[in-house]
Amino acid sequence: MTPARKASRKRWQGRSIIAVALLAFVVTAVIVVWRRTSGREAETTIADLDQQRRDLEAQIAKLESDLQEAMSASEIEPAAARKLGLRRATDSQLVTLSRGAFTPVVSAPDSTP
């Protein structure tokens, strides 16, 4: 090989190394930018889901409160009177049973064949 050819070959080898290094840098920079972008998107999604979870927890608390209120006697009694026509029993309509005072009635077996 002639000295001019060797110099030309070395020059292309040096340029190739620089080109490969620049290409590696660009690829690395693209990967870093892509990861940061996807990380920001994930962060936004997590923040949205966290807000949705807080909203749902608040809704659950309100529904539980509404349920407790609806189950109270002050709510049930007017609804029963309005929808079913029920009314509160008077004292004369109430029967108080004490323990042991109640004896079940046992019917006699049928003697008919």
Tell me: the pLDDT tens digits for 39-69? 999 999 999 999 999 999 999 999 999 999 8
Q: Radius of gyration over alpha carbons of the chain, in Å?
A: 43
| Residue-wise pLDDT tens digits, 23-32 | 999 999 999 9
Question: In which band, very low, low, confident or very high, does the pLDDT at 70 lie, cut at 50, 70 and 90?
Answer: confident
- pLDDT band, residue 105 (cuts 50/70/90): low
What domain range includes position 64? Answer: 3-87
- Domains held by the chain: number: 1
Residue 107 lies in a domain: no
Residue 75 in contact with residue 69, Cβ under 8 Å?
Answer: yes
Residue 106 lies in a domain: no
Classify residue 93: in a domain, yes or no: no
100 within domain boundaries: no
- What is the rounded CA–CA span in Å between residue 28 and residue 21? 11
Q: What does the alpha-carbon distance between residue 57 and residue 48 come to, in Å, rounded to a whole number?
A: 14
pLDDT at 77 over 70: yes
Question: Does a structural domain hold residue 73?
Answer: yes
102: in domain: no
**55 within some domain:** yes
CA distance 30 to 107: 92
Within-domain flag for 18: yes
